[in-house]
Structure 1
């Protein structure tokens, strides 16, 4: 099967969406699928306001049509709701091509954290975007339940995996910092609630791996924390394996790839009991979920590292790829494309 994945999230961005797409594509090829990507590369683009490392591509209907007309593609999957995603959706609707989508990011909450725009407006746009397809893939039951209540249709489960060889306890090194070491890794942005971690009164050291629009303000507000910037996967794995607790303060993530990466390195998790951590950690005993994040951090120190690693081993990219393929097969069997009077944007 030849599958085209249209995505606005792509290299050189470093985030969970890009890592997920790259990893599942590699696993899909092992199942015999041929994967192509339609990305912002090759299009003129402009930086996203307030987040310059993300580029918004000028993906016109004509340019997308030139790339897709006559291409030997069996299925189109639209991974993101950006310019490339909207253009691919428009192409599918005009050419009566079935397609699936995936819901990776809580854009309504992210946009509301930065602007005055109510979540209801953004959810209305996203609902119309996704409901035009043959199915929308979501990573957790909590997100599926939330979207179903908001009127999203044909929801399909698609979990994630982790590279157990790359993210391994064997990556452990000596960090020259007072222990215990509490680690955050990810984008430094308002919606991530990083202040919820950095403001905690904890013994030892706080380490922040990552970059983003909030970095300067956070560094100024929390000078005792150690900001080390964005790191490649090998270095990131070393930080995971060498810390004592992974702290995940976000209330808005749909999954949290970093949770699996940390666990795979034998690093217990402390997080809030919200969608994402509830689904990934749940009652596994591989971490602690508590509205009192400080209490969760201190309790997580008692979690055996072997338990965290063993739980992470149950998440594989092979299983993720099989779910993805099964969803596409089911969507193609339905052959359902909900036409809308006028394409969005």
Structure 2
């Protein structure tokens, strides 16, 4: 089993149905409209958001968030992952009645517990929510810049890609960049190739969350490859949301063949019937990736990870040791 690494996963969206049902019992909530037979129920984007919001709303205390992070990273490690970055949202903290600092500290405790148990290395990427507006995203960036948590290593923006103009958010990313944080941004998922081009023009990220709609413009694909921008690809998520009909129609292999740096990620895994292991398995089955090629995808992810040089070297050494 090849070692794995993940750069793109929303922690609230990573709670398994089993964990959500446990939390529902804890708070006296009824999960049956949203979970059946051990799986989340949804049929379109609106019902997906309803299930997501219900589940996220069951994480209300610092202990809850620590449990969530520990549970997810431990499951990743069980499946052979040596590195994980999770997207964390101060806006979720506010809904839970927690300060952003308490939220980050709690998730950090969970990551540290998983690291101690399994050896997996973990980091947090603070994300602003695009459709909450420029002010909210800048507020998230200021928190990321000043929180001082040793496991907060990056800043990104998620949410509705079709909302607003990307250039309006430049200041948020400059705040994060000036603080030395790694920069990623969602683009080219629900919005087309133009959103990826705009992100490159205005944000200049090291990585693009998704980015797969770039395939619609060959010049843009060449630009991504030439710049070495890393794409956080989530094939299972893309197919579940109807961006592409099936794995055969997904552009992962074409982007890789064009010289783009691509990685495999699970996004909101239980909602899309996937996991990081499943993404690697599907890449082997449908994209023809050998164990050596999958290890190269993991290497790309680790090389693109928002960690210090010493940690990156240690992770690459672990990957090389596994390959021998």
The reply to whether TM is greater than 0.5 is no
What is the TM-score with the length of structure 1 in the denominator?
0.35
What is the TM-score with the length of structure 2 in the denominator?
0.36
Rg bigger for which structure? 1
